A and B are shown apart, each in its own frame.
Chain A
Amino acid sequence: MTTSLAWQRRRGTVARFWRQYRTHRAGLHGLAGLALIALLALAAPLLVGADVQSVTNAPGRALESPSATFPLGTDQFGRSLLGLLVWGARISLLVGLLAAALSVAIGTLVGIVAGHYGGWFSTVVMRVTDWFLVMPALVLAIVLATVMSRSMWTVILAIGVTSWPTTARLVRAQTIAVESRPYIERATALGGGHGHIMSWHVLPNVMPLVLAQTTLGISTAILTEATLAFLGLGDPTVVSWGGMLQDAREAGAVSSGHWWYLAPPGIAIALVALAFTLCGRAIESVLNPKLGVGR
C-alpha cells in the first residue's frame, strides 16, 4: 500500500518534471538531437555494419575526396569516412556515458557519505576532494592514461577518476540540506540506520541533482575522450571520433588540405557535447529555477 503510494508520488514528480522541461526550447532541441544520434549509434550495425572497420577489406583507395560512393571521402586505409563516423558514435557515446556515470557515482558516494557522517571524517574526505580539485584534471587524466595500456576502459577510468570532485561537493551540500529536514530526524528516531537513511531518504533527494550532473558530465567526458585520443592516449584499435581526429592528424590531413577528414568528427563531437549541455542546463533550471540558466 505504502509502496504504491510512493510510486504514484514519484510518477507524479516525473510528469511534473517533464511538463516543466517541455517549456525549455533549447532543452528540447538538445533532447531531439540526442535521440537522433543515439538512434544512429544503435542502428549502426544495420546501417554500416562492423565491416567498415576492416582494413583488409577496405573498399576505396587512400584518402579519396568526397564522392557519390564515399560521401565524406576515405581515410588512409581506404575505409569510408561516413561509415566510420557513424560507427565511431558508438564508442564516443559509450565512453561519454560510462565515464560520466563513473564520475558521478564516485562523486555521489563520496558526497553523501561525507555529508551524512560529518565531523572529522567529513573533513578528511573533503580534504581529499579538495586535493583532487586543485589537481589539473586534464594533467591527471593524461598521467593515468599514460600509466595504463591503451584501451577504452583506460580512457573511461582516467576521465571518471579525475572529474568527480565537483559532484561530491554539490552532493555533500545537498545531503546536509536534506538531512536538516525534520522527517530525517523522525526516521532516525524510528530506528533507521545510517545505510537506511542514506539510501532511502538522502539518495532519492539528491537524484535530480545527480541527473543534471551526469548530463553535463557526459559532454565534458566526450570532449575529454577526444582530447586524450588527440594526444595519442586513446585506444588505437577502436574507432572513435577523437581517434578519427588523431588518425587524420597522423596522416597529415591538416597540411595536405584534406579538410573533409578533419571537419566531420570535430563537428560531431561539438554537436553531441552541445546537445548534452543543452539538456543538462534545461534539467538544472527545472530543478532549480533560481539558477536562471534557462530563462
Chain B
Amino acid sequence: MTTASTPADVARTAPVRATDGASRTGTTVAYLRYVAGKLGGAAVSLLAVLVTSFFLFRIIPGDPVKAMTHGVPTSAEQLATLRRQFGLDLPMWQQFTDYCGKALSGDLGMSYQFRAPVGELIATKLPATLLLTGVAVLLYSALGLWLGTRSAWNHGGLGDKLNTGVALTLWSVPSFWLGLLLIIVFSVGIGPIPGLFPTGGMESGTGETGFAYVLDVAHHMVLPVLTLVAVGYAQTLLVMRSSLLDEMGGDYLTTARAKGLRDDVVRRRHAVPNALLPTVTMVFINLGHVAAGSILVETVFSWPGLGGLFYQALSVPDLPLVQGLFVVFAGAMILMNLIADLLYPLLDPRVGR
C-alpha cells in the first residue's frame, strides 16, 4: 500500500475510473448493461492474470529442484524424482495446458516446498492476512475520514496544517523502518519504557482459548496495525479533505445555508455524504491491496500471513505457490475494483433510480 501509489494518485484516478461510462446513464437497464460490462471486464482481467502468472514466473531464473536441495546431500536420481513429481520434466506447453485445466477447475496445484495443495496453503494463511490488513484498512479509513473532515472544516487553520503535515510525514516514512523502530521501543523496550508488546507472531501459542485467545491475538496485532495505520491514513485524509473542500465550495451549500440551516447540519447532511463518494471508492481499492499490501509488515513482525508465504515461495521459486498467490493478490484487486465500480453509480446521487 505504501509503495503502490501516492495519496494524490489514488485520489485522482479512483473517481475517474469509477465514473467511466456510467455516470450519465439514468435507467436500470443502463445500469445492468454497465454491470454486465464491468463483470465481463473483470472476468477477462482474471483470465489474463491466470495466463500471465504462468509465464511471468517461468522467466524467474533458478531451478526449483536445485534450489530446494541446496546444501542437502542429493543424488542425481533424487533430483530426477523431484523433477518428475513437480511435472518439470514435461515440455512447457504441456505444463501450461495442465496448469490451465486445473486452474479453471479451481485447483492451483501442489506447492513444491510444502508438498501441500496451494489452495489449502493459501486458505490457512489468508485469515491472518485478512485480519491484520482488514483491521488496519478499516481503522485508517475511519481515522482518515475523521481527520480529513476536521481538516476540511477549518482548512487553512493551524489544526489543518498540523493534521496534513503529520499525515504526510508519516506517509513518507518507510513502513518497515517504522515497524522496526516500534519493535525497538515498545517490544524490546528502551530506557524506562518496558517491552509491552510481543516482538512478532500472531499468538503466544501457550494454549489460550476463547476470549483469552482473542485478546492474545489482539495483543500481537497492536504494533503491526499501528504501523499500517500510521503509514496509511494520509491517503484517506487527503482525499476526504480535498473532496470535502470541493463540496463546500458548492452553490447548493450556500442555498442550504440561506434556508437557515445550521452550519454544522449543512456540512453533515449535505457536504460530507457527497464527499464520501471518492473516499469510499478508495477504501475499496485499498481493501483490494489487502492481500498483497502487508508483505513488509508481515516480514518485520513475523506475521504468519500471505506476504511471508509469497516471499518464501519466490526465493525457491516454488512455482505453483507463487502463481497461486499472484492470482489471489491480483484477484483481490480485480474483485475490489469491480465492487467499487459497481457501487459507484449506486452511491452517486446523480444516478436517479
Contacts and interface: CB of A to CB of B under 8 A. Distances in A.
B86 interface: no
A266 interface: yes
A99 to B, nearest CB: 12
A223 B7 CA distance: 14
A166 B5 contact: yes
Given A146-B314, A293-B8, A293-B238, A224 B177 contact: no
Interface stretch (A67-75, A131-139, A184-192): A131-139
Given A143-B57, A231-B299, A254-B180, A137 B3 contact: yes
Contact of B17 (A138, A143, A169, A273): A169
B55 to A, nearest CB: 12
Interface string A139-174: 101110011000000000000000100100110010
A223 B59 contact: no
B12 interface: yes
A139 B3 contact: no
Contact of B5 (A220, A230, A257): A220
Residue from B3, B178, B337 with most neighbouring chain A CB atoms (10 Å): B3
B49 A254 contact: no
A270 B169 contact: yes
A269 interface: yes
B6 A266 contact: no
Contacts of B314: 142-143, 146
B59 A230 contact: no
A249 B56 CA distance: 30
B152 to A, nearest CB: 9
A273 B172 contact: yes
A250 interface: no
B45 A295 contact: no
A230 B300 CA distance: 10
Contacts of B210: none
Interface residues of A, number: 56
B172 A270 contact: yes
A230 B296 contact: yes
Interface stretch (A14-22, A58-66, A77-85, A275-283): A275-283
A195 interface: no
Given A136-B4, A146-B60, A255-B188, A292 B181 contact: no
Interface in B163-198: 165, 168-169, 171-174, 176-178, 180-181, 183-184, 188, 190
B249 to A, nearest CB: 8
Given A223-B174, A227-B3, A266-B177, A131 B45 contact: yes
A181 interface: no
B26 to A, nearest CB: 23
Contacts of A257: 184, 188, 190
B174 A245 contact: yes
Interface stretch (B69-77, B201-209, B325-333): B325-333
A230 B8 contact: no
Nearest to A281: B8
Contact of B246 (A131, A143, A290): A290
Interface in B3-21: 3-6, 8-9, 12-13, 16-17
Given A130-B45, A262-B180, 11 more contacts: A26-B165, A138-B292, A141-B3, A219-B172, A226-B177, A231-B296, A231-B299, A249-B180, A263-B181, A273-B173, A295-B155
29 contacts: A26-B165, A130-B45, A134-B45, A134-B288, A134-B333, A136-B289, A137-B5, A138-B292, A138-B293, A139-B295, A142-B311, A143-B57, A146-B60, A146-B315, A170-B12, A216-B6, A219-B172, A223-B172, A223-B174, A230-B174, A231-B296, A254-B184, A257-B190, A262-B184, A269-B172, A277-B168, A277-B172, A290-B246, A295-B156
Give the top 4 A-B pairs by smallest Cβ distance, nearest first. A136-B292, A273-B172, A266-B177, A292-B245
Interface of B: 2-6, 8-9, 12-13, 16-17, 41, 44-45, 48-49, 52, 56-57, 59-61, 155-156, 165, 168-169, 171-174, 176-178, 180-181, 183-184, 188, 190, 238, 241-242, 245-246, 288-289, 291-293, 295-296, 299, 310-311, 314-315, 317, 326, 329-330, 333-334, 337
